[in-house]
Amino acid sequence: MIYRLKYKPFGNQAILIEWPSEINDLILEDIINFELKIKADKINLIEDIIIGYNSLTIKYSVAFNSFQHKKELLQNSYSKLNIPLKSKALIWHIPVCYNKDYGLDLQNVSKEKNITINQVINLHTTAIYKVYFIGFLPGFLYLGGLDTKLHINRKKTPRINVAKGSVGIGGSQTGIYPSDSAGGWNIIGKTPISFFNVLQLNPCFAKAGDTIKFVSISKPEFLKIEAKIAQGLYTLKPENNG
């Protein structure tokens, strides 16, 4: 499907390309395919491409003199997007401990949604989550797929500090805090996995189009994995997604 895209100058060194304001897999697939096509075409002076829920931001290495010329190059590339290019989407199984020591808001979520804590955990670990884009904080994954039974308002008063690895839900989303930061999501668990490492070639292992599956683990298992990570003895291995 070819969408009617909007192209907007973002200063004189970037262009914002917008799809319809919807969050769905078809638009995400089209965004990813366009990103791959731009990279395959090797359009001159493009420095970075940033994916959003329904957008691509194209950053150039130098300021451009003609927005119209850059726009036409991108439009030409998109018009030839006949055969979808396939990125290597992966499935990541992320261990999460839902122990009360980590799930700070688990009991409150249980009460507000009128379901048991075990049901909260089951609903959270049963769903398959699609990575739409990475933002807010380096390594923060914006995920789609949270069960509607877990949709819940964010906290009225955000915490000043949410620990790295905390898994939270807010609104219709779930996410993992990649570093210590302030935050207003309801914290229901914690993962020992690091989602951002500036020392690695790819600082964030996941990318847009990948899927995430949360796996419930006990506190002893959490501490064991945490220790292995500290010793460099733990590697998160993904599965191919088709």
Give the pLDDT confidence score for residue 133 in this predicted structure.
85
Phi, psi of 181, deg, nearest 5: -165, 170
Element (H, E) at 208: none
Give the pLDDT confidence score for residue 242 in this predicted structure.
55
Alpha-carbon gap, residue 197 to 144, rounded angstroms: 23
Angle formed at CA 27 by CA 51 and CA 59, multiple of 5 degrees = 25
Give the burial string for 141-166 (b: 16+ CB within 10 Å, else e): bbbbbbeeebebeebeeebeebebbb
Alpha-carbon gap, residue 93 to 242, rounded angstroms: 16
User: What is the distance of C-alpha 84 from the center of its chain?
Assistant: 22
Residue 66 token pair = 């003609």
The sign of the dihedral angle between the CA atoms of 161, 205, 237, 147 is positive
Give the pLDDT confidence score for residue 84 in this predicted structure.
60
Phi, psi of 6, deg, nearest 5: -110, 130
Give the pLDDT confidence score for residue 198 in this predicted structure.
76
Instruction: Give the torsion through C-alpha atoms of 188, 189, 193, 195, to 10 deg.
Output: 20
Alpha-carbon gap, residue 155 to 153, rounded angstroms: 6
- What is the pTM (predicted TM-score) of this model? 0.82
Give the pLDDT confidence score for residue 227 in this predicted structure.
96
Taking phi first (over 0 means left), then psi (-120 to 50 degrees means alpha), and beta for anything else, what does residue 145 get? Answer: left
Closest CA to 30 of 60, 55, 9: 55
Give the pLDDT confidence score for residue 88 in this predicted structure.
73
Give the pLDDT confidence score for residue 194 in this predicted structure.
92
User: Could you report how far apart the first and last alpha carbons of the chain are, in Å?
Assistant: 21
Give the pLDDT confidence score for residue 216 in this predicted structure.
98
CB 133 within 8 Å of CB 53:
yes
Domains by residue range for the chain, with CATH: 6-79 (3.30.1360.40), 90-240 (2.40.100.10)
Q: What residues contact residue 101 under an 8 Å CB cut-off, 6+ apart? A: 219
Give the pLDDT confidence score for residue 65 in this predicted structure.
87
Residue type at 69?
H
Phi, psi of 139, deg, nearest 5: 90, 0
Give the pLDDT confidence score for residue 196 in this predicted structure.
85
Could you list the pLDDT tens digit for every one of the 242 residues in the chain?
Answer: 678 999 999 888 999 999 998 888 889 989 999 998 998 888 888 999 999 889 999 999 999 888 999 999 999 999 887 666 566 789 999 999 999 999 999 999 999 999 999 999 999 999 999 998 887 778 888 898 999 999 999 999 999 999 999 999 999 999 999 999 999 999 999 999 999 887 777 778 888 889 999 999 999 999 999 999 999 899 888 887 65
3-class DSSP state for residue 154? coil
